[in-house]
Structure 1
């Protein structure tokens, strides 16, 4: 495996973990993980990159080794502010290359529209977004949030790292034993009870009281001036969050029309965690689209 190194810095008051691969001084490539994932999750893709890159992959607040917020709710705009702080720290001037998976793709897509002059290339890995909320959903959404505040959320404990790896393979049967073992070691840590617990703040499991307005996100996407590489997995389950496969396909295609300069690719034999399932194919797409380290 390509060796990596860890760094901790304070980002907007939280001790934040950042994983690095590659040569200092090489062109920087920022990789942003999804919900309940960690920056180390990009290891398999990095292993196949042929370009000369300095890959920088933070753990978002409340995930991995980054400090938890201590609040009872995580607010999505904080991720945008965290991303800007990280970019200002590592590349205060010039344009940046962003790769975002799932939630990370959502964050990067909004940011690319809010700060279009800062983005050279943007790669969206299944960062489709969610089904758009309607006003009638509001009472139930607020009630769910209030109800969930009454009981502290918990993460399940696992007796061994092997049990964590088995849980990952249950979710994604494409994971080899080797990859599952690697991910388990970065995805979990021993808790006070001696069990292995997922490195994600259980508060993330709570429903958000804020609606997801797709039209607001599309307004940001329409302001993106950078070329966009849009990568989907042939066997994704993301349709579950978009109203089903048929309606979801139509909505994803509609959302893509808001990107002025987009190249769409489909990875075969891959699920939503496509960076685990087809890392070599994905790395080749990244090298070609981003310019193999320019």
Structure 2
């Protein structure tokens, strides 16, 4: 494995944890993880990159080693503001190569349309978004959120890091023992009671009271000026989350028409966590797309 270092920076009232790989003077790739994941999750992709890169992957607020606010709700605009501050900190002048997976894919897709001048190349991994909503759903959605607030959400704990690894493999059977053991060490930590707790604020489990307004998302996508690489896994679980493939495929294709410069790729023998399942294939796709900074 390539060696990484941790850095904590003060950012928007938080101590943000960022993981770095490579020479700080090398060309940068910035990677944003998905829901209930951490920056270290990109280790296997970084290991597979051929060129010399400075890869930075933060733990987004309320995940990993980045503490969340004292709150019972997380708002998507805060992820955008955090990313804006992170990029201003690490690359205030130069446009960057930006990669996002799942929830992180949604974050980077929105951000690239909000500040298009900041992005050199954009890579979205399984960043499908959520099902289309209607305003008539608002009363029930707000009620659901209010009902959930009455009971404090909790995360399950595990007796050991090995149990955490087994839980990861249950969710993703493609995950081998070595990778599962590595992820467990970054995805959880031992608490004062000797139990291993997941490094994610339980508040993330609450339903969002805000409906997913797809046309607003598409307006941001239309404003993206950077070339976009859209990557899906052939065995993705996304379809079950967005109403099935029969409805999800044409809706996804409709959404993708809003990007001006789009290249699509399919990674075989991979599920939603394609950066764990096929890191070498994914690393090649990323480097072929953003371009190698020098001969390797």
Of the structure 1 ranges 30-39 and 232-241, higher mean CA displacement relative to structure 2 is found in 232-241
Aligned twin of 2:55: 55
Q: How is 1:9-158 mapped onto 2 (pairs within 5 angstroms)?
A: 9-158=9-158
Aligned twin of 2:242: 242
Pair 1:291 & 2:291 matched: yes
Count of residue correspondences: 294
Provide TM-score, normalisation by structure 2: 0.98
Q: C-alpha displacement at 1:193, in angstroms? A: 2.3
Aligned twin of 1:252: 252
Pair 1:172 & 2:172 matched: yes
Indicate how the Cα distance of structure 1 residues 140 and 192 shifts in structure 2: closer, same or farther if over 3 A, else same. farther
- Return the alpha-carbon distance in structure 2 between the equivalents of residues 3 and 293 of structure 1: 20
Q: C-alpha displacement at 1:117, in angstroms? A: 1.1
Unaligned regions of 5+ residues in structure 2, if any? none
Provide TM-score, normalisation by structure 1: 0.99
SS of the equivalent of 1:181 reads helix
Q: C-alpha displacement at 1:142, in angstroms? A: 0.5
1:144-173 Cα deviation digits (max 9, x unpaired): 110111111100010011100000000000
- Return the alpha-carbon distance in structure 2 between the equivalents of residues 118 and 24 of structure 1: 19
- Return the alpha-carbon distance in structure 1 between the equivalents of residues 236 and 73 of structure 2: 28
Pair 1:207 & 2:207 matched: yes
SS of the equivalent of 1:152 reads coil
- Return the alpha-carbon distance in structure 2 between the equivalents of residues 287 and 213 of structure 1: 33
- Return the alpha-carbon distance in structure 2 between the equivalents of residues 45 and 218 of structure 1: 29
SS of the equivalent of 2:259 reads coil
Aligned twin of 1:230: 230
- Return the alpha-carbon distance in structure 1 between the equivalents of residues 215 and 17 of structure 2: 33
- Return the alpha-carbon distance in structure 1 between the equivalents of residues 179 and 277 of structure 2: 10
Moved over 4 A (4+): none
SS of the equivalent of 1:123 reads strand
- Return the alpha-carbon distance in structure 2 between the equivalents of residues 37 and 2 of structure 1: 20
| Contact 1:15–1:66 (CA under 8 A) maintained in structure 2 | yes
